[in-house]
Amino acid sequence: MPSIYARRIGMLASAAALASLAALVNAPTAQAAPPAPISAAAARAYLATVTPKAEGSSSGYSRDLFPHWITQSGTCNTREVVLKRDGVNVVQDSSCAAVSGSWYSEYDGATWTAASDLDIDHMVPLAEAWRSGANSWTTAKRQQFANDLTRPQLIAVTDNVNQAKGDKDPAAWLPSRTAYRCTYVRMWVNVKQYWGLNIDSAEKTALTNVLNGC
């Protein structure tokens, strides 16, 4: 009788091991995403210290004042680095252009197999940054901001979704995929905090409302 129980325990252990292995095989690629943002608790704590400041003017703004898609290494520019990072099984040619792969757009839940269907979104848009304090930065600092791979500032998403977002802050635009909204606002707060950018009243309210549900 004990040997029967032992065999049953062994079979259960083997089944559990197989299940664990299957879960690992079927799990999404560990990277395939921007750097992890600060926690919801940390974002809420930071917002609690923020005194809202009205947005400045867009006067004088130009994307050219934020030099972006600079060379990161070899022939790879920032866009290609993000496409490689955020995709699965991405193959690049000798010029570092992504010629195949698969990309899941967190904003809308769409999956794409052509890099041309993707934009690299600046989490905090360049024009929004300009109105929030970047207008007083040097061009060199704006270049660092526009190509920031260390913070969760860049993400590959469906091109027309990124275009619909434009330069809107979370008071005017949030991802249609509600499951990603907590992550999105954590990313937004992380970037604004690190770069010392202002947050206006409506923006702070929108961020707080989402974070309170995280």
| pLDDT tens digits along 122-137 | 999 999 999 999 999 9
pLDDT at 60: 97
pLDDT in tens, 194-213: 999 999 999 999 999 999 99
Pick from 188, 187, 193, 185: nearest CA to 209: 185
Instruction: Compute CA 43 distance to the chain's CA centroid, rounded to the nearest angstrom.
Output: 15
**Given pLDDT bands bounded at 50, 70 and 90, which one contains residue 32?**
confident
Beta bridge partners of 76: 73
- C-alpha to C-alpha distances, 6 to 1, 53, 122, nearest whole angstrom: 9, 68, 57
Task: Write the single-letter amino acid at 175.
Answer: P
Burial class (CB in 10 A: 0-12, 13-18, 19+), 35: middle
Both tokens assigned to 104 = 């899941």
Is the per-residue pLDDT at 75 higher than 60?
Answer: yes
pLDDT at 31: 56
pLDDT at 191: 98
pLDDT in tens, 145-193: 999 999 999 999 999 999 999 999 999 999 999 999 999 999 999 999 9
Both tokens assigned to 149 = 């791979």
Mean residue pLDDT across the chain: 89
